[in-house]
C-alpha cells in the first residue's frame, strides 16, 4: 500500500509542538495511516478538519481558544467523523462531557504507543474506547452541584474575563451574571469566582 492509498487519513491537534510532531512521525510510520493535517489550537483543528475531511481526528483536551471537547462539538456539528481525545489530566467529569459531545475515544497520554495505535484503528473501524480506570472512577464520582448556567459562566470567568464581557457574550445583565457566579462560588465553598472556576475545571466540569 502506498502512502497515497493509506486507509486512515488523520488530523492531529495539540498545542505542544514537540508532542504533536512526535505523534505525527509515529503515525506516519504506520503503513495504513497518513497524517494529512495538524493544528495547534482547537479553532485551527476545526478549520483543518473542514479543509482535509479526514477519516479520523485526534484532539488534545487542553488547547488554546477552544478545548478538545468544544472543538469536537464544532467538528461534529458539520460532519460525521470519529474523534479521539488524548489528555494528560484525565478526570471522570471530563470523560462524561466528551462522551456527551460525541467523542468516540478518550485516551490518557500515558498510553503505550502500540496500544494507542490499536485504539485508533479500532475507533476508525467503528468501536469506542474509554480508558478503564477513568471509566471506573466515573461510576463513583460525586455529582456536580452546579447548574448548567453556572458551569457556563464559570467557564467564561476562568480566564479572568470581566463580568461586563461575560454579560455581553451571554445576553444577561451584569447583576444576573454576578448572582450566578456568587451562587456557584458558595456551592463550591470557594473564596472567589476565580477560585470556583479553577475548582470546577479541576473536577472536569468545565
- Secondary structure element (H or E) that encloses residue 87, with its range: strand 83-87
Of 45-54, 100-109, 127-136, the poorest mean pLDDT is in: 127-136
Give the cell for residue 33: 495511516
Q: Tens digits of per-residue pLDDT, 164-205?
A: 999 999 999 999 999 999 999 998 888 899 899 888 887 778
What CA–CA distance (Å, rounded) separates 32 from 42? Answer: 26
Helix (H, G, I), strand (E, B) or coil at 184: helix
- The residues near 156 (Cβ < 8 Å, ≥ 6 apart) are 166, 169, 170
pLDDT tens digits along 113-172: 999 999 999 999 999 998 887 776 655 566 778 888 998 899 899 888 999 999 999 999
Amino acid at each position: 500500500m502506498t502512502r497515497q492509498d493509506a486507509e486512515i487519513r488523520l488530523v492531529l491537534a495539540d498545542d505542544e509542538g514537540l508532542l504533536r510532531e512526535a505523534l505525527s512521525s509515529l503515525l506516519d510510520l504506520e503503513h495504513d495511516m497518513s497524517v494529512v493535517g495538524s493544528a495547534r489550537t482547537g479553532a485551527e483543528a476545526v478549520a483543518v478538519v473542514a479543509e482535509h475531511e479526514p477519516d479520523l481526528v485526534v484532539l488534545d483536551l487542553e488547547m488554546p481558544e477552544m478545548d478538545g471537547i468544544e472543538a469536537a462539538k464544532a467538528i461534529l456539528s458539520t460532519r460525521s467523523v470519529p474523534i479521539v481525545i488524548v489528555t494528560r489530566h484525565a478526570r471522570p467529569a471530563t470523560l462524561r462531557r466528551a462522551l456527551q459531545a460525541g467523542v468516540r475515544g478518550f485516551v490518557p497520554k500515558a498510553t503505550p504507543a502500540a496500544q494507542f495505535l490499536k485504539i485508533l484503528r479500532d475507533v476508525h473501524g467503528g468501536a469506542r474506547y474509554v480508558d478503564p480506570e477513568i471509566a471506573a472512577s466515573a461510576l463513583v464520582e460525586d455529582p456536580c452541584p452546579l447548574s448548567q448556567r453556572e458551569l457556563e459562566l464559570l467557564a467564561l470567568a476562568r480566564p479572568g474575563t470581566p463580568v461586563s464581557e461575560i454579560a455581553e457574550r451571554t445576553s444577561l445583565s451584569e447583576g444576573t451574571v454576578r448572582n450566578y457566579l456568587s451562587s456557584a462560588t458558595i456551592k463550591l465553598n470557594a473564596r472567589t469566582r476565580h477560585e470556583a472556576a479553577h475548582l470546577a475545571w479541576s473536577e472536569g466540569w468545565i
